[in-house]
């Protein structure tokens, strides 16, 4: 009889070990980008037959991918602690640690939005509560730790400013946008009011921090010229705080009547429109600018990198933001805008997912530098 080939050869183990070493926190962006497809699809004012089922399947895919990536990243920290620490001290990589928080929050929110159809409301609330708590805690920590490292440990210059710097600052805004989903499941009275106001506090943390950082990014573009080709897709990251903040104020306005008394509930409903409409206008302006830069980069030979996932989650937040404005204003224009943005999101997700799977199968994405 021929001897059996071992399931794991030394060479296979060496390659797996090598690939695990290269697994950085930027991979959480793929989880965020997948989960937002389900969340945004369920939020659309227009629902087609089978659309919710498709959203459930995409959410399930994001949940499984999150579990796999969390396990792999745990192995990364266990076996390659030196590399993990080096990532924290690298100004180009450290901001991606904010993606862990947003991946947990996006999958948790999707569990309560569409996952409850598959696992039941009780289980969905429990899962979302755990993921929301963990994601919010990590997001708040990273919103402090990463800027702190940039000040005291990283050697950065104004010419290095990119939209990636926004990532750890956007995480609290994601908590502010998805926290309202848990409010109806809290006891009436102070627990609901506390959650509502905590979400508004996180809204303020993220918004004001973004307003400090965004001028650096825009100033870098004006003074320094276009970003390197591989960093062109992250220009869409600017849409993250814009779309997510618009989503947050609309979600919070929905929950205000059952969480806080008059006159605040009515005022918060008005604030959702007064704030959301101008911000969505700026988001569309930035979308046009970023798209023009993306077309330019494509014409200059931009190849695929994991930065392409920046085309997904930020656009998805604009979908949910536009859907919220359609709900509160009753304007068909916002409903159509949400649908158009969702089609763009879907195309970007299919493109990024296909190239990512191809890169994984060929081994290129996790090849050591």
HSE, side-chain direction, 13 A CA sphere, residue 87 = 20
Task: For residues 208 and 119, give the distance between their C-alpha atoms in angstroms, rounded to a whole number.
Answer: 38
Q: Which residue's structure tokens are 């870098």?
A: 220
Q: In the numeric block, which tokens belong to residue 206? A: 């993220």
Give pLDDT, residue 118.
95
C-alpha separations of 77 from 21, 24, 205, 225 in Å: 9, 10, 29, 37
Task: For residues 293 and 276, give the distance between their C-alpha atoms in angstroms, rounded to a whole number.
Answer: 25
Q: Is 50 left (phi over 0), alpha (psi -120 to 50) or beta?
A: left
CB-based contact 178:109 (threshold 8 Å): yes
DSSP 286-314: HHHHHHHHHHHHHHTT----GGGGGGTHH
Spell out the domains of the chain, with CATH numbers in brackets.
21-362 (1.50.10.150)
Q: Could you tell me which residues come within 8 angstroms of residue 328 by beta carbon, excluding any fewer than 6 positions away? A: 250, 253, 269, 272, 273, 276
Residue 168 Cα to chain centre, angstroms: 10
Sign of CA dihedral 131, 19, 25, 151: positive
C-alpha separations of 291 from 35, 212, 286 in Å: 23, 24, 8
* Low-confidence stretches of the chain (pLDDT beneath 70): 1-18, 367-369
Has this prediction a pTM greater than 0.95?
no
Closest-CA residue to 158 (of 209, 216, 215):
216
Give pLDDT, residue 14.
59
CB-based contact 97:88 (threshold 8 Å): yes
Closest-CA residue to 139 (of 112, 113, 182, 177):
177
Q: With b meaning 16 or more CB within 10 Å and e meaning fewer, what string describes 219-242?
A: ebbeeeeebebebbbbbbbbbbbb
Give pLDDT, residue 363.
79
Give pLDDT, residue 277.
98
CB-based contact 20:77 (threshold 8 Å): no
Give pLDDT, residue 1.
42
CB-based contact 173:207 (threshold 8 Å): yes
Task: For residues 150 and 95, give the distance between their C-alpha atoms in angstroms, rounded to a whole number.
Answer: 9
Rg of the chain, C-alpha, whole Å: 21
CB-based contact 87:128 (threshold 8 Å): no
- The model's pLDDT over 19-69, given as tens digits with 9 standing for 90+, comes to 788 889 999 999 999 999 999 999 999 999 999 999 999 999 999 999 999
């Amino acid at each position: 009889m021929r001897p059996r080939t071992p399931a794991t050869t030394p060479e296979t183990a060496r390659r797996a070990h090598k690939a695990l070493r290269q697994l950085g926190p930027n991979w959480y962006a793929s989880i965020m980008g997948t989960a937002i497809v389900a969340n945004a699809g369920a939020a659309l004012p227009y629902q087609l037959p089978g659309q919710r089922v498709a959203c459930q399947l995409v959410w399930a895919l994001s949940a499984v991918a999150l579990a796999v990536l969390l396990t792999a990243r745990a192995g990364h920290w266990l076996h390659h602690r030196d590399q993990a620490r080096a990532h924290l001290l690298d100004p180009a990589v450290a901001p991606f640690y904010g993606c862990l928080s947003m991946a947990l929050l996006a999958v948790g929110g999707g569990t309560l939005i569409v996952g409850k159809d598959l696992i039941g409301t009780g289980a969905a609330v429990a899962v979302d509560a755990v993921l929301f708590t963990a994601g919010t805690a990590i997001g708040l920590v990273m919103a402090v730790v990463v800027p702190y490292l940039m000040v005291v440990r990283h050697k950065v210059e104004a010419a290095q400013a990119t939209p990636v710097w926004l990532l750890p600052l956007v995480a609290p805004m994601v908590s502010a946008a998805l926290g309202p989903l848990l409010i109806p499941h809290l006891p009436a009275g102070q627990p609901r009011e506390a959650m509502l106001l905590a979400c508004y506090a996180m809204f303020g943390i993220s918004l004001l921090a973004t307003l400090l950082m965004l001028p650096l990014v825009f100033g870098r573009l004006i003074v320094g010229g276009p970003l390197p080709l591989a960093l062109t897709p992250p220009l869409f990251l600017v849409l993250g705080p814009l779309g997510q903040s618009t989503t947050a104020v609309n979600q919070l306005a929905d929950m205000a009547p059952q969480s806080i008394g008059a006159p605040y509930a009515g005022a918060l409903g008005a604030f959702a429109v007064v704030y959301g409409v101008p911000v969505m206008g700026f988001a569309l302006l930035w979308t046009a600018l970023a798209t023009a830069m993306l077309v330019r980069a494509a014409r200059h030979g931009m190849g695929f990198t994991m930065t392409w996932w920046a085309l997904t989650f930020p656009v998805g937040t604009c979908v949910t933001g536009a859907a919220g404005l359609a709900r509160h204003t009753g304007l068909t224009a916002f409903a159509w805008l949400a649908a158009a943005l969702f089609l763009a999101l879907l195309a970007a997700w299919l493109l990024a997912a296909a190239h990512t799977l191809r890169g994984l199968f060929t081994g290129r994405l996790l090849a050591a530098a």
